[in-house]
Amino acid sequence: MTEYQDLTHDDVAAAAAHVVAAFSRTDTATYFASFSADATFVFHTENRRLERRSEYEALWQSWLAEGWQVTECLSSNPSIQLLGDTAVFCHDVTTTFNTGETTVERETIVFHRSDDGSILAVHEHLSPLPNSPEAR
């Protein structure tokens, strides 16, 4: 039987802040190091679920090749649900890109403490915030 340490509110808040900060800097290496290799992703802007981190990394690289960059990412209205070695983090996120476009979305990230003690995201789901331009 594998022993694990339950996640705490502070653990999850710090892991989420780390992901958001890396995304806000378009820091590719740090951002993707925050996700497990088998993480899954559901984005309302994509026509299919991304089944592995490598699929999202390839999509991200295509965006970078087009000149895409995040210039600001603000997290608000956080919620953390602790489930032992796993936790669900949900927040509202306002992101501005170098194109001048700003999105207002709701994001859920599932974090898990692995056997080695690291805390990695294993799933991310992004959807438009109701009443935002993306939801129309």
2-42 pLDDT, tens digit each: 566 899 999 999 999 999 999 999 999 999 999 999 999 99
Q: Say whether pLDDT at 59 is over 90.
A: yes
What sign does the dihedral 17-19-23-29 (CA atoms) show?
positive
Distance CA 109, CA 122 (A): 8
Query: Virtual CA dihedral for 35, 38, 95, 13, nearest 10 degrees?
Result: -40
Cβ–Cβ < 8 Å for 34, 120: yes
Count CA atoms closer than 13 A to 75's CA, side-chain side.
20
Q: Say whether pLDDT at 96 is over 50.
A: yes
Cβ–Cβ < 8 Å for 81, 108: no
Percent of the chain predicted with pLDDT > 70: 93
- Write out the H or E segment, with its range, that includes residue 62: helix 53-65
Rg of the chain taking only CA atoms, in angstroms: 15
